[in-house]
Amino acid sequence: MKFNILNKDGLSRYGTLSFGNMVIETPVFMPVGTYGTIKGVSSEELREIGIKLILGNAFHLYFRPGEKVITSFGNLHNFMNWKGKILTDSGGYQIFSLSNFCKVSDEGVHFKNPENGNLLFLTPEKSIDIQCFLRSDIVMCFDECISYSNSWNRIKNSVERSIRWAKRSKNQFNRKENRNSLFGIIQGGVFQDLRNFSINEMLKIGFDGYALGGFSVGEPKKNMYSLIEEISLQLPTEKPRYLMGVGKPIDIMESVSKGIDMFDCVIPTRNARNGFLFTKKGIIRIRNSKYKYDLLSLDSECKCYTCTNYSRAYLHHLDKCRETLGIRLNTIHNIYYYSVLMNDLRNSIKKNKLKKFIQDYKHNCLKN
């Protein structure tokens, strides 16, 4: 992977991630495909929308379908018929999301799968091994993600453990043949001194890119924005910066303005399943009864498959009947919306008009 910056507007960057046979423009948003699928849409539909990079979850894919199935196809790309690129999450976030089902030690994490009771002892080495049999294009080092509300001492211990795990992750990654790219993860909660310590130690190890972890886990927005800027200013200019798990449009825009290049989040797909649809004039809650007789499309400016073929009334009807087609159409629209949003952000950076773009968005879209 090679990262090039083509233009800057303030701290924001327009650039490209080159993977030999594919070039991906940044800033970029990755839809989340936890189990090797973006819920509700096919790989072919994602390509038609313009998506080139998605996220898969090493932890969950290890349990289902497992190594034997995926390696029989050669890699995760072939298994899901995906022609684009894949970044895999290492499993560190599951320490936060499945805290009641795991026990952490310096050696690794004992997990109990909440769905079937299966056990997994996940170490930095095991996480890298899983991601390498998936053959992901961007591998994440194993880290410990914990709540921002923990004490300074607790988060300090977690940061130190994540640094030790990062060293082990890189050592294991370097042993692999045909390896791609490895990203390190900056932790430290809402404490600037711990974030600084994490940055310094991760830079000593050296990675192909750097992720900002432990955000969007309940911390106040003002803390998140200020920390993102402070961290970005300390990271190498020539390396891509990835903000993990942050996906509200306004948070993406503010983070882009502070120098972030990559994002992932379940928001567009999860919101679609729950009837929250993004438009250029704000969110439409399609379950609202006022849409029962609405002949209009979701968004007159949107050219996605859903908006060019179906009315709000029909989407409302599908939602009320709990028809799976409604989830599919909603998901196609929301992913398309995010694809257009990222393209608009890139164009605004190219034209040095990002600040105006964000101001216009706040005026037009944050009324609902």
- Tracing tokens 């002949």 back to the chain, one arrives at 295
Partner residues linked to 242 by β-bridges: 211, 262
C-beta neighbour count of 112 within 10 angstroms: 15
**From 129, 143, 264, 299, the catalytic residue:** 264
Q: So where are the chain's domains?
A: 2-263, 266-368
Other C-beta atoms closer than 10 Å to the C-beta of 51 total 24
DSSP for 74-121 reads: SSHHHHTT--SEEEEE-STHHHHHTGGGEEE-SS-EEEE-TTT--EEE
| CB-based burial label for 322 (10 Å; 0-12, 13-18, 19+) | exposed
> Would you call 153 exposed, middle or buried from its count of C-beta atoms within 10 A (0-12, 13-18, 19+)?
exposed
Residue 145 tokens read as 């993600």
Q: Are 52 and 84 in contact (CB under 8 A)?
A: yes
Catalytic choice (9, 89, 129, 299): 89
Measured CA to CA, the distance from residue 21 to residue 7 in angstroms comes to 23
**Inter-CA distances, 357 with 16, 90, 242, Å:** 21, 34, 21
Q: What is the CATH number of domain 2-263?
A: 3.20.20.105
pTM above 0.95, yes or no: yes
What are the helix (H) ranges across the chain?
Answer: 43-49, 58-63, 67-72, 76-79, 93-97, 124-134, 152-174, 192-205, 221-234, 249-256, 267-273, 305-309, 312-320, 324-350, 354-365
Helix H or strand E segment including 39: none
How many C-beta atoms surround the C-beta of residue 269 within 10 A? 24
* pLDDT, position 367: 61
Residue 264 is among the residues annotated as catalytic for this protein: yes
Q: Is 137 a catalytic residue?
A: no
pLDDT by residue for the chain (368 residues), tens only, comes to: 999 999 999 999 999 999 998 999 999 999 999 999 999 999 999 999 999 999 999 999 999 999 999 999 999 999 999 999 999 999 999 999 999 999 999 999 999 888 788 899 999 999 999 999 999 999 999 999 998 999 999 999 999 999 999 999 999 999 998 789 999 999 999 999 999 999 999 999 999 999 999 998 878 888 899 999 999 999 999 999 999 999 999 999 999 999 999 999 999 999 999 999 999 999 999 999 999 999 999 999 999 999 999 999 999 999 999 999 999 999 999 999 999 999 999 999 999 999 999 999 999 887 65
